[in-house]
Amino acid sequence: MLIPIILSGGAGTRLWPVSREAYPKPFMRIGDGKSLLTQTHERALAVSGNTPPLIVTNRDYYFLSHDELESQEVKPQYLLEPGGRNTAPAIALAAMWALEQKSDACMLVLPADHLIKDTPSFYTAVRHAENLAKDGFLVLFGIKPTGPETGFGYIEMGDKVSAEAQLVKRFVEKPDVVTAGKYIEQGNYVWNSGMFCFRASAILDAFEAYHPTLLAAARDVWRSTKAEGDKMELPAAFTSLDNISIDYAVMEKAKNIAVIPGDFDWSDIGAWKAVAEAIPADANGNTSNNCQSIVIDSRNTHIETKDRLVAIIGLDNLLVVDTPDALLVADKSKSQEVREVVARLKAAGHEAHKTHKTVARPWGTYTVLQDAPGFKIKRIAVKPGASLSLQMHHHRSEHWVVVSGKAEVVNGEQTIQLEANQSTYIPAGNKHRLTNVGDTELALIEVQCGSYLGEDDIVRFEDIYGRVK
């Protein structure tokens, strides 16, 4: 049994303003219009013979991931982290789960934010990796370099272990451009893709040999993990596990490490330059994710827009990324430095580092239409049958006007039904709840008034999504 393990996390700060803390890189749509998470899920199913993957992600992304993959015929299982750790704890716990599915299970570990177009060549590489994994090897997928890239780690390859694979001689951190050029000239270096294949028992044996304290702590966490439906909730103790990558914890120490130098196209979509390179360019090297753009006398420029028309004139080698609440204009050569924008926003306490104007919630979405001192206006969309928590606010009152659909509203001691063009007023301090009792989306306009309008002014009493605190 080949079990796909999809690691879905990471803030993707170099892809701001589209990727944000509450809506990270795996949910970005690139290429065929599907999210990177969906593309990874479909790729995993194809290579594993429709074995349901295990997605390891933060519990805050569970409902977003669930909605994203709802249309898939084969649904994944979820291992939910209460806080961010690195790849070693995630893979150790995933291996414990895989071992319970089948004693000789092989794991195919795939980050959710990679783009691979040449899937037949990728599938061939996976078959070779699976055969090596059955023989006890811990297998990495290397990528043959296409240039002196300084944003990736490199692997120096040693002796052959099969026609398709070689032993790993050493791992090399991200080099400077001169060193990277020398690696390419030597011909025995590949990029470290962060994709792996190994038997669950073999990787756990490696943890026992090279990082036994992490393994012991992870076993304690696993014994306290609670399963419900398609998800397993890791306990808070998970956040005390070593924050270490699988490379540092195991791969750089183990002896039975093989690398397959894959010749399939691959990108980790680490920055906007990589996004541009994944999209077909016009005769002047310009790229765009959307037809809502006008390009005049410009070269090698990428436009990312969704809701607005963007026109450019006389630009060269720039990035223009437009979202409803933020605009990024940068030189392509500076695409790695976008993370500095996020750092400054975070230091200033600006919400744009974390959320978009439209924010996903387990019950649907809300969109901030206007935010000013003393009031905030939102459009709220609730999925059929979904319900917000029974809650209360200390500092704000709310006015709800139904635009479409049918709502049931708990407002203090009253429970009322509202339809289009009807409204209600909820004073500060009143317990209240909103439920969509219709079979179509419920849309309403919410006007908040008060001295403080932050999202943390919520006291939850009951919540079907487990958010009571």
pLDDT in tens, 437-465: 999 999 999 999 999 998 889 999 999 88
One-letter amino acid identity for 176? D
CA 97 to chain centre: 21
The pLDDT tens digits for 298-351 are 999 999 998 889 999 999 999 999 999 999 999 999 998 999 999 999 999 999
Give the mean pLDDT of 186-214. 96
The pLDDT tens digits for 419-443 are 999 999 999 999 999 999 999 999 9
One-letter amino acid identity for 83? G
pLDDT at 125 over 90: yes
Q: List the strands of the sheet with 375-382, edge to edge.
A: 358-361, 364-372, 375-382, 442-450, 396-404, 423-426
Reference 56, options 37, 20, 81, 31; nearest CA is 81
pLDDT at 80 over 80: yes
pLDDT-derived band of residue 137, with 50, 70 and 90 as boundaries? very high
pLDDT at 64 over 70: yes
Residue 313, φ and ψ in degrees, nearest 5: -140, 125
pLDDT at 122 over 90: yes
pLDDT value, residue 97: 97
Q: Find the farthest-apart pair of alpha carbons in the chain and give their distance in angstroms, rounded.
A: 76
Q: Report the DSSP pairing between strands 77-81 and 231-233.
A: parallel
The token pair at 455 is: 């999202």
pLDDT at 290 over 80: no
- pTM for the structure as a whole: 0.91
The conformational region for residue 269 under phi > 0 = left, psi -120 to 50 = alpha, else beta, is left
The token pair at 408 is: 């049931």
Spatial contact of 262 and 193, defined as CB atoms under 8 Å apart: yes
b/e per residue 288-316 (b: at least 16 CB within 10 A): bbeeebebeebbebbbbbeeeebebeebe
pLDDT at 469 over 60: no
pLDDT value, residue 407: 97
- What is the Cα–Cα distance from 141 to 193, expressed in whole angstroms? 6
Residue with tokens 């765009």: 288
Spatial contact of 350 and 337, defined as CB atoms under 8 Å apart: no
62: Cα within 13 Å, side-chain hemisphere: 22
Q: Report the DSSP pairing between strands 226-228 and 231-233.
A: antiparallel
Give the mean pLDDT of 389-395. 96
The pLDDT tens digits for 35-53 are 999 999 999 999 999 999 9
Give the mean pLDDT of 121-144. 96
Residue 302, φ and ψ in degrees, nearest 5: -110, 135
Task: For residue 270, give Cα distances in angstroms to 57, 88, 245.
Answer: 18, 20, 18
The burial of 252, by beta-carbon neighbours within 10 Å (0-12 exposed, 13-18 middle, 19 or more buried), is given as: middle
Share of the chain above pLDDT 90, in %: 88
